[in-house]
Amino acid sequence: MAERPGFSHQKEQHGLVGPFSGRQLIAALLVVVVAAIVLVGVTTPLGQVGGTPPPDPQATAFVIGPAPAVGLKPGDLAPEFSVQRADGTTFQLHDLDGNPIRLADLRGKGVWVNFWATWCPPCQQELPVLRDLADQYRDRGLEVVAVSVQETSPADVQAFADKYQLGYTIGFDTSADIFHLYKGYALPTHVFIGPDGVIRDVVYAPLTAAQAEPRVQAILPPG
């Protein structure tokens, strides 16, 4: 008689889950994790999503010429609003009514000189800042002189000023003589002059109210 295999009481080996072994389950789990990571990477948009948005870009100056090797700086005496041209004639800055504008007549006041143009987008953007601060600090000794550069006519600038209720002094710089005298190369350019006629700050860019107000306060006469 053929010999039968002996009977064993050892339990039959089974996988951790059904017929699958632990090694097979770990491999499958790794495949799922890798697939999930790839899926997230593919479907997430580039750049910032949600949360705090990036700040708005600030306007920059409108460059109309090369920057001078040496410009005006704090501590310099501000040039008078007149210049002798190459042909021997003298150009004197006048307001839109034809009256001469002289720094000597403004001594004792804080003078904010703003070189600008009606056709200059960053200049237009900051006009409310000049208008509001000019009104706010006029009684405390601030004089705003906005020098309009390379415009067609005083009448055109006056119409623009009337439309936007610009109540400060506007000079008409026909050929940018005063602009070049002040070493300007971009619009707007700001020059802050103390009551003693000395330059306190020069800024070649448009200003926000938060940037302009402390500069204005720094040039006001005492008292």
For residues 108 and 195, give the distance between their C-alpha atoms in angstroms, rounded to a whole number.
Answer: 4
Q: Name which of 165, 182, 164 is nearest 173 in CA terms.
A: 182
What's the predicted TM-score (pTM) here? 0.74
pLDDT of residue 201: 98
Of residues 168 and 47, the one with the higher pLDDT is: 168
Question: What is the average pLDDT across 28-34?
Answer: 54
For residues 55 and 27, give the distance between their C-alpha atoms in angstroms, rounded to a whole number.
Answer: 46
156 to each of 26, 150, 152, 163, how far by Cα in Å?
A: 80, 12, 7, 11
Write the burial class of residue 215 (CB in 10 Å: 0-12 exposed, 13-18 middle, 19+ buried): middle
Question: Beta strand 110-116 with 142-149: parallel, antiparallel or unpaired?
Answer: parallel
**CB-based contacts of 219: which residues, under 8 Å, 6+ apart?**
110, 111, 112, 142, 192, 193, 194, 195, 200
Query: To the nearest whole percent, how much of the chain has pLDDT over 90?
Result: 68
86-112 pLDDT per residue, tens = 999 999 999 999 999 999 999 999 999
pLDDT of residue 124: 95
Q: Name which of 114, 111, 91 is nearest 103 in CA terms.
A: 111
Of residues 31 and 47, the one with the higher pLDDT is: 31
pLDDT band at 31 (very low <50, low <70, confident <90, very high): low
pLDDT band at 27 (very low <50, low <70, confident <90, very high): low
CATH fold label, 62-219: Glutaredoxin (3.40.30)
Q: Please, are residues 122 and 60 in contact by the beta-carbon 8 Å criterion?
A: yes
pLDDT band at 59 (very low <50, low <70, confident <90, very high): confident
Of residues 31 and 213, the one with the higher pLDDT is: 213
| Angle of helix 209-219 versus helix 121-137 axis, rounded to 10 | 50
Query: Average model confidence (pLDDT) for the chain?
Result: 83
**CB-based contacts of 173: which residues, under 8 Å, 6+ apart?**
93, 115, 147, 148, 149, 150, 179
1-25 pLDDT per residue, tens = 445 444 344 444 444 444 545 565 4
pLDDT band at 129 (very low <50, low <70, confident <90, very high): very high
Asked whether the CA dihedral 73, 79, 82, 84 is positive or negative, the reply is negative
pLDDT of residue 131: 98
130-186 pLDDT per residue, tens = 999 999 999 999 999 999 999 999 999 999 999 999 999 999 998 999 999 999 999
pLDDT of residue 138: 98
Q: How many CA atoms lie within 13 A of 42 on its CB side?
A: 6
pLDDT of residue 159: 97
Is the confidence at residue 48, as pLDDT, over 70? no
